[in-house]
Structure 1
Amino acid sequence: MKITSKVRKMKLQTVFAAFILTALAGCVDGFDDNGGYLTHSDHRLSRAETAQVQSRMDNYLKQPTHLSGLRATYRMSDGVVPVCGYVTDGRAPPALFGGVLGAGTGGAFVLHNIPGKGQDPARIASVRAFCNAHHIAI
């Protein structure tokens, strides 16, 4: 019985260690890019940050908008918060957008702007690439 108890305890410790390693993992760029250092961590937008994004989108589109699916990360190198999500004016289908909140309290939201108009495939691909580069799956 003692051996079974020890084996069970070792299995539990192994599973627990694997869980801890998984839980502590952040977004790490490939070893070729930056040596495998942590580059981004998950970030939950505060109400003030969400309001900054909302205000910028309203001003950019020159009308009230509705945001959905907002996701963000925290860029470890400079404290910038990349944000991706969907925006609509209520009449058109939701459109993908991305941008960054400046570092510090009250940082301005700068939209990832691509030339052209509307949601053509090239613009969608560009925004999706921006989001992926900042470890935001959308």
Structure 2
Amino acid sequence: MIESEKLAHEYARRDENGDVTEIVRALDGVDVKVKEGSFVAVLGANGSGKSTFARHLNGLLFPTEGTLYIGGMDTSDSENTLAVRQTAGMVFQNPDNQIIANIVEEDVGFGPENMGVPTNEILKRVEESLKETGMYSYR
């Protein structure tokens, strides 16, 4: 389950000296409740906070105000960060923004590797996944 209560996030704009010149509120009082197994689309114009909200879902960003729970875990609690990231992942729209590799096989195997899955099992899962999705020839 995903649940947010009065979730807010602010970005600080800084000058060349690093001094804050402006605070931009990207999320303001977001209340959401998504039941497990549901499919949800988040729609909005450019700059409306969709990506900021998505980055909160797996702990890439933390709330300025309010709370966000993923599977009952408070994402702002640093002790939950690893478990939250193991529960909710993110695929970036632009492959150049991926933080992993330039090779499809390595990207697909990154998650299981970081969860401690044995190498032979990772290789098997990667091959099966790429074949299932029609991506095997791009490996």
TM-score (norm 1): 0.25
TM normalised by structure 2 equals 0.25
* Higher RCO structure, 1 or 2 (CA under 8 Å, sep 6+): 2
